Chains A and B, each alone.
Chain A
């Protein structure tokens, strides 16, 4: 489902960061934006409320470089995590090539993680997609919380079949951020030409 621009010799991929409200999706993108050198990134666009909650989406274009004569680019998006923004969330999933599900390690957010995954499945179904059809990486964020739940417990509610690669993260410090993005990018690229 990547978008190929033969005239400009570009291949573009859309990667969406999904997950419950305040799990750290925007923090992931901000960290990436801060660390990727100039020339390899475009402007970061954030459509947020005054208190910095994502209202529609965040957007960050990254330039991987030229591969076999094709400029290869990733467009990173976040969705608004808050439950009542589902209409917006659904729109962002259109044409998605890969997903990072950012789960929250806080004990009080276990249910929100599960509900967000269920919501993602429902929204993907509207586009005729199943989670199983897409590259998905699970990032268990906020591992620095003193009462962080075991990773296995978070995994048990969002991915009981242990289908997705898992990365632990502290996105505010950048821990696990690049590792997660690299894995989802690798999985997305692995599908090029094979589908």
Chain B
């Protein structure tokens, strides 16, 4: 099937941000991201005390690629899916869970965040975000970008790549 465009805005976006914020508060994780399966960031939240995050684009892309590979592995073994994915280093860790069919939840946490809490609240958040994603897909906003958008974008292409 053709990958649908998952767009969060308005009230749905605000609710997604609330879910991420609450999850950071409950788990003590540093950053929470909702990303689509293509690797684009849909929403992200940072704990107030957290240092500057690594580049979000790179994080999202690698996590989406990793999740896609993990899903392919599951299918090879006759599983529909594998459960959440956790990577843990000496200081930092990642928690990735499916937020429905079209999105992923990513939590980045350090050694002060208990893994049990990260998994528990991560799972709850993923379920809540999955419901929001379903709502968003059921009511896609109509983007009305006209020829002016294309003209302006073309001018920027000339500027960036030369005439």
Interface residues of A (CB under 8 A from B): 1-7, 12, 14, 36, 40, 42-43, 45, 47, 56-57, 59, 61-62, 64-65, 67-68, 70, 72, 75, 87-88, 91-92, 94-95, 127-129, 178-179, 181-182, 185-186, 189-190, 192-193
Known contacts A193-B143, A193-B144; A95 and B153 CB within 8 A of each other: no
**Given A64-B160, A193-B149: A1 and B3 within 8 A (CB)?**
yes
Residues of chain A within 8 A (CB-CB) of B8 are 5-7
Are B3 and A95 touching (Cβ within 8 A)?
Answer: yes
A42 touches B6 (CB 8 A): no
Interface of B toward A, CB cutoff 8 Å:
1-10, 13, 36-43, 55, 57-58, 61-62, 65, 68-69, 72, 141, 143-146, 148-150, 152-154, 156-157, 159-162
Contact B61 A45 (CB under 8 A): yes
> B38: which A residues are within 8 A, CB to CB?
3, 14, 94-95
Q: How far is the CA of A61 from the CA of B150 in the complex (A)?
A: 20
Interface of chain A, main secondary structure: mixed
User: Given known contacts A7-B9, A185-B157, is B149 in contact with A67 (CB within 8 Å)?
Assistant: yes
* B65 neighbours in A (Cβ, 8 Å): 47, 56-57, 91-92
A91 with B68, Cβ < 8 A, contacts A14-B38, A178-B161 known: yes
Is there an interface contact between B149 and A45, defined as CB atoms closer than 8 Å?
Answer: no
Q: Once the chains bind, are B162 and A178 in contact (CB under 8 Å)?
A: yes
CB of B58, distance to nearest CB on chain A (Å): 5
User: Cβ of A67 and Cβ of B2 under 8 Å apart?
Assistant: no
What are 8 A-to-B residue pairs whose CB atoms are below 8 Å?
A: A40-B160, A43-B55, A47-B65, A64-B153, A68-B145, A75-B40, A192-B153, A193-B143
Looking at the assembled complex, report how far the CB atom of B71 sits from the nearest CB atom of chain A, in whole angstroms.
9
Inter-chain CA distance A87–B8, complex, in Å, is 30
Chain B residues whose C-beta falls within 8 Å of the C-beta of A182 in the assembled complex: 157, 161-162
